[in-house]
Structure 1
Amino acid sequence: MEESTSNNSPARQDNQNQDPSPSSPGPQVDTPAAPAPPEEQPTGPPEYRTLYLLSYVPSPLFPAHWSMWVPHRASDGSVSKRGTRLHVTGDSRNGFAHDFDRDYDPDEDGRRPWVRAAARIAERHVEDPPTPEGVSAYEACNRLERVALSIPAPGPSMRAASNNAVRTRVALQNCQTWMADFVRALIDQGLIEQSAQALLDECPKN
């Protein structure tokens, strides 16, 4: 913000800017009023968008699938009902891969996912691609997606029953563990609030 220029420079401090002496009743000279300083520009918080956590519960016998969804910004500036869903797809036996579903509307999904607002994120970190339908499902278009790709998709963590190799305990990795790591990375980088961590405990796991 530029500061306003002072009008008290020596060039303007002449006799015309001084009050006339009572003993010298000469002609009264109008002194031009000093220009008002420019109004301060608003410096409020940046625009934000809401991140949502989604959970799909197919059966109590299987782990629920977790995703994150961020709605797009419509051409008129409003929040659209469609957006990008960030998740990893696959299974614990074969491993997972990153996937960005760029034209997703939770209301149109017949699986009727559990949906909760998880956090807000600054608009500059979730810029929409110019043409979502023409962008790869594995290509990052903004910082949120770059953070998602920086979290490795889980590899195989479940052995087949017929595997005769020496059995060692392997921590089960799936879409839920990936989402937990993703949320923690966003918090650690200061992109979302710490409160988003608590929502992971509420998200249905199966």
Structure 2
Amino acid sequence: MPRTIYLAVLSRGTQPAHYAVYIPTGDTGDVGKLIHVTGNPAQGFFLEFRRNYDFEAPPTKLPTDSPSASGRSDTVGNKEIGDTIARDRFESVATTVQPPGRSPNPFDPSAPNCQNWLLDYIEKLVAEGYVPNSAISVVRNAPKVL
């Protein structure tokens, strides 16, 4: 059964916006799953699945920038710490798209980041037949800074 997925564009002030794929848990809602890479150009990025993500809940500062040692999710407040183990087809495809590594010039505004990874991921989803080709335009036309 087809379902709607969203491009989440999250503000980071004057820095490039953070891009993620958001898949609601049910037919409606502010609770769902984020598929994204997290990190920075100086240290590189890693893939993360944040299940039970609630846009309405107040942000919770996570105790670490890396997934739990077991690769499983833990809960902090009502936010779930990211998981790195794929549980469905969308997540499995994400594991085949290499996150950007360390940039030789991390202060270069054109250094690869989560926006580049997300475009590569969407292109892979299109190639696999999971989303329509128009999804590529959605990512390309999204604001780079909010």
Instruction: Please say if residues 57 and 204 of structure 1, whose CA atoms lie closer than 8 Å, have aligned partners that are also in contact.
Output: no
Q: Identity of aligned pairs, percent?
A: 30
Contact 2:41–2:106, Cα closer than 8 Å, also in 1? no
Letter matched to residue 55 of structure 1: V
TM-score by length of 2: 0.76
TM-score under structure 1 length normalisation: 0.55
CA RMSD of aligned residues (A): 2.7
Higher RCO (Cα < 8 Å, 6 or more apart)? 2
Q: Which of structure 1's runs of 4+ aligned residues deviate more than 6 A?
A: 132-136
Q: Aligned pair 1:105/2:51, yes or no? A: no
Pairing 1:72–2:21 present: no
Question: Number of matched residues?
Answer: 127
CA positional deviation for 1:160? 6.5
CA displacement, residues 43-75 of structure 1 (integer Å, 9 cap, x when unaligned): xxxx11111001112223x111111110113xx
How many angstroms apart in 1 are the aligned matches of 2:137 and 2:106? 34
**1:82–1:104 CA contact under 8 A, matched in 2:** yes
Asked if the contact 2:50/2:82 (under 8 Å) is kept, the reply is: no
Where do 1:31-180 residues align within 5 Å?
A: 47-60=1-14, 62-73=15-26, 78-108=27-57, 137-159=83-105, 172-180=111-119
The Cα of 1:80 is off from its aligned counterpart by 4.3
| Structure with the greater alpha carbon radius of gyration | 1
Structure 2: gaps spanning 5 or more residues: 60-73
